[in-house]
Structure 1
Amino acid sequence: MPTRICLLALIGLPASGKTMFSKWLLELPQTAFNVIHICYDDHFPQPTNETSSETKFEFKKERTQIFSIISELIDALKNTTRFPNHLNTTVKSSLHADCYDFLIICDDNNYYRSMRYKLYQLCKQTECAYAQIYFEGHLEMALQRNSERPAVERVAQKTIQQMAKRLEAPDSATQRWESNTVILNEYTYKDCSAMKIKILEFLGKTFKNTLRPSPVQEKAKNVQSLVHQLDLLLRRRVAEILHTEHAHTLERQERARNLNTKRKDILQNFKTIAEEGMRVDELNEYANLLH
């Protein structure tokens, strides 16, 4: 069976029930799919009231890193159907031995639409499914729940208030890509079990809605693949040339630098031409340009 992956973006204020929902899904005795929980709080420092440029840079850096983790996870599942042990995730395997459906929970506030859209675009590029669950609730409720947390887990009250002002709720009317969304209000998510059938049916159907790259994205993907294949051929060519030439260490190092400079130039020129149309069987012609 082919591997199917769904990215599930959770949306909501701190203390709105996102991680509680994730744990509930992980603890279900049996599901029709494997569950992988990525809790952003495990990768990000606790939010503060600071708004310095340095703090914003670190936040952006952390978000880029976790996006890379998700990309790496998708790649590993697509190619090996195995969970990379070095990634900081919680995994619940399906009791079905031959289950190749994987739900990746992106447990974050995702309060800006741009944050979610980046995940949606990743799904299109990697041919995965995409879904959202919006934990709708009042600011007062979030502040109350946050105050009941252990001190080390509490988010600054000012941070939650600012996030509430900036939160961009899903809007499928104007953003069609957000149409695959379920809204859980402050009453329903208190007892996830009451909505078990609805939630599992929603997630189960989502796996059937695999996204596809647009023609532009597909072309870029093909070009990237060709460039990668040519790079491997060129690197092999460099190794062959250095192996056949007998030179002193310093001369060999200089020769290697020159060859790698040529390799990069060939790749750059090839990329420009490949965007206009290129066949795999033409790669060797470019590899032989290196001498």
Structure 2
Amino acid sequence: METNIVITVLMGLPGAGKSTLCEALASTASDNPYFDGFIFIHVCFDTLIPLSLQEKFVEDKKAGVEDTTESWKQARHEVYLNVDKLLSCLKTDDYDFNVFKLFNVHKTSLGKDSKVVILLDDNFYYRSMRYEYFQLARKHTVGFMQVYIDIDYGIAIKQNLNRAHTVPEAAIYNMAQKFQHPKPRENRWEDPTFVTQSSGGADLKCFGNMVLNRMSFPVLPVENNESEKEEARLICSRNVAHQADLYLRSLVGKTIKEAHKKGSTNSKEFSARVNAARQYVMVSVRKGSLLFPPNLADNIDDNNRESFEKFILEEFQKSL
């Protein structure tokens, strides 16, 4: 089974050059022999969810506005739903004026032999954000791949200054700390990942070959729905374990530092005890013997991080 459509998720820090790469692909497609017959559809999240609105979400969150998180989720979900509609139109050769207009797609540009590449241009720093589009590829039986512009945090900061709308440095730093890098060896669905250290120096021939490969091997439906659910649960549990490990390591350093200030404990013995407590909690998390509240069991993000860290802290203190 083959397809002529590939969903391509671009990930990287703000300033990495994701939009630059998308624009370069779209503008050079007709002149580049590697992309003969390709149609690139650039889905830019910063256009669909304007930076002014994103900044408002951030300010509302700081001010404690209760529905900010839900508003942010809804804005992203609207993009997802429209990409879903776009795929339906492309698969059935249907025409939805509003959807095509939203993504700046001209019906006349789509030929029978066109190879359509949907470029999802966002940071996608959580693996769960990327996985939902893998599931969408499965729903429509189209190709799926990822593009990771892997640049140093310092370079991202410098390149961010050249953007028309800069992102606050603190926001880039926070995202860099939370970024869940692709791990194809652990997650088979991440295996088709194109990695480059520069949007301008990307190997376009290699990229084009990967797209063609994904067209030859689209994501197929799972016959056993339980297998798909188990796969989703596994991805979520890895996310929870990763976040727990990061936070526990910070707790170890903080706890030992505070004990040193007080000077009331044997430094070597106390450090060993603290690290043993961290390991005990992590083993419980990985084995699944630590029972998380329902809202913390599936995925950890900015919406529930505070509750998650409070829960882990309590378990850590019990183990000391």
**1:25 to 1:58, Cα distance in 2 relative to 1, 3 A:** same
Matched with 1:162 is 174
- Residue of 185, 192, 215 corresponding to 1:180: 192
| Paired residue total | 213
Deviations 1:102-160 (A, max 9, x none): 1111111111000000000111111111000001011111111112223xx11111111
Match of 2:48 among 43, 51, 71: 43
Question: Partners in 2 of 1:83 and 1:17 — Cα distance?
Answer: 31
Pick which of 62-71 and 74-83 moved more.
Answer: 74-83
Pick aligned residue for 1:64 from 73, 77, 83: 77
Residue ranges of structure 1 left out of the alignment (5+ in a row): 221-291
2:221 is the counterpart of 1:213: yes
The 1:163–1:92 alpha-carbon spacing in structure 2 relative to 1, beyond 3 Å, is farther
Using the alignment, how far apart are the partners of 1:2 and 1:80 within structure 2?
Answer: 16
1:10-37 Cα deviation digits (max 9, x unpaired) = 0001110100000011011243322111
Give the Cα–Cα distance (whole angstroms) in 1 for the partners of residues 86 and 12 of structure 2: 24
Whole-Å Cα distance in 2 between the matches of residues 92 and 181 of structure 1? 29
Equivalent position SS for 2:194: strand
SS at the partner of 1:190? Answer: coil
Equivalent in the alignment of 1:24: 24
Cα offset for 1:43?
Answer: 1.5
Q: Following superposition of structure 1 onto structure 2, how do residues 1-291 of structure 1 map, counting pairs within 5 Å?
A: 4-28=4-28, 29-30=30-31, 31=35, 32-46=37-51, 47-48=54-55, 49-50=58-59, 51=61, 52=64, 53-80=66-93, 82=95, 84-86=97-99, 87-91=101-105, 97-150=111-164, 153-186=165-198, 189-192=199-202, 195-217=203-225
Residues 60 and 127 of structure 1: CA distance in aligned 2, closer, same or farther (over 3 Å): same
Give, in whole Å, the separation in 2 of the partners of 1:96 and 1:54: 40
Residue 100 of structure 1: how far off its partner (Å): 3.8
TM-score (norm 2): 0.61
The answer on whether the counterparts of 2:4 and 2:115 sit within 8 Å (CA) in structure 1 is yes
RMSD: 2.6
Q: TM-score, normalised by structure 1?
A: 0.66
Cα separation, 2, equivalents of 1:203 and 1:172? 17
